[in-house]
């Protein structure tokens, strides 16, 4: 969800203004996913590298996450949306960890769709943590395969993403779902995240539908 800072600067406002607009943009996009029949939406909210930002910006982001959990969860739960929070829990405040546990527990049986919030998340960190679990469980080397690693990722129940959308013209993976995105399609738009809406999502999906996915094989003649 790139471009919050640029969106704010173009309006002569502080970065916090852009982050707040970015948080508000999530819900309409998620509901647009429902309309399009998309069952899982993963949003990259805060990376393991984002801790390098100024203390003030990090504090603002964490406060916005906490506010969003309080403000939006009941509506998500009523719409039968299951909430996952992917990422390392250590480093997060006790309040946010408690909110995460509450949201995941209360929405566990929901079947209307999935919102996967990647918070304190890094693709490399996720793979490292999966390997650590294998070691802790004393899994034999010959038993370690792709399935064994996949089963120990943060949200093993979720499918690999079909489509990854990069807003604000960014054209790199940025440590996002590195294991899961091995064969994902990428779509890049210059639209800044706070301006990204249903029409932008429809354009991305339409572009995706015109592609042929080979998964390493050749398409059928």
Mean pLDDT per 10-residue interval, the chain, length 221 residues: 96 96 95 96 96 94 94 94 96 94 97 97 98 98 97 97 97 96 97 98 97 75 59
State the pLDDT at residue 221: 59
Active site residues: 2, 50
Q: What is the CA radius of gyration of the chain?
A: 18
Residues in the chain: 221
State the pLDDT at residue 16: 94
The pair of three-digit structure tokens given for residue 24, joined into one six-digit string: 């508000």
State the pLDDT at residue 215: 76
Mapping DSSP to helix (H, G, I), strand (E, B) and coil, where does residue 121 land?
strand
CB hemisphere CA count around 49 (13 angstroms): 7
State the pLDDT at residue 111: 96
State the pLDDT at residue 217: 72
Give the domains, in start order, of the chain with CATH numbers.
4-209 (3.40.1180.10)
State the pLDDT at residue 195: 98
């Amino acid at each position: 969800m790139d471009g919050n800072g640029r969106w704010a600067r173009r309006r002569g406002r502080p970065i916090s203004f852009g982050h707040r607009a970015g948080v508000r943009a999530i819900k309409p996009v998620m509901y647009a996913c429902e309309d399009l029949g998309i069952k899982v939406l993963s949003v990259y909210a805060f990376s393991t590298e984002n801790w390098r930002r100024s203390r003030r910006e990090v504090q603002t982001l964490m406060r916005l996450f906490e506010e969003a959990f309080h403000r939006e969860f009941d509506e998500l739960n009523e719409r039968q949306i299951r909430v996952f929070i992917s990422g390392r829990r250590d480093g997060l405040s006790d309040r946010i960890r408690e909110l995460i546990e509450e949201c995941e527990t209360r929405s566990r049986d929901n079947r209307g769709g999935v919102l996967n919030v990647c918070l304190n998340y890094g693709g490399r960190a996720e793979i490292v943590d999966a390997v650590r679990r294998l070691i802790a469980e004393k899994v034999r080397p010959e038993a370690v395969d792709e399935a064994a690693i996949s089963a120990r990722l943060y949200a093993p129940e979720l499918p690999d993403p079909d489509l990854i959308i990069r807003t604000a013209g960014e054209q790199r993976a940025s440590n996002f779902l590195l294991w899961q995105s091995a064969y994902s399609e990428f779509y890049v738009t210059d639209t800044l995240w706070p301006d990204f809406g249903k029409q932008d999502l429809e354009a991305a999906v339409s572009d995706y539908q015109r592609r042929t996915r080979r998964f390493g094989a050749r398409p059928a003649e």
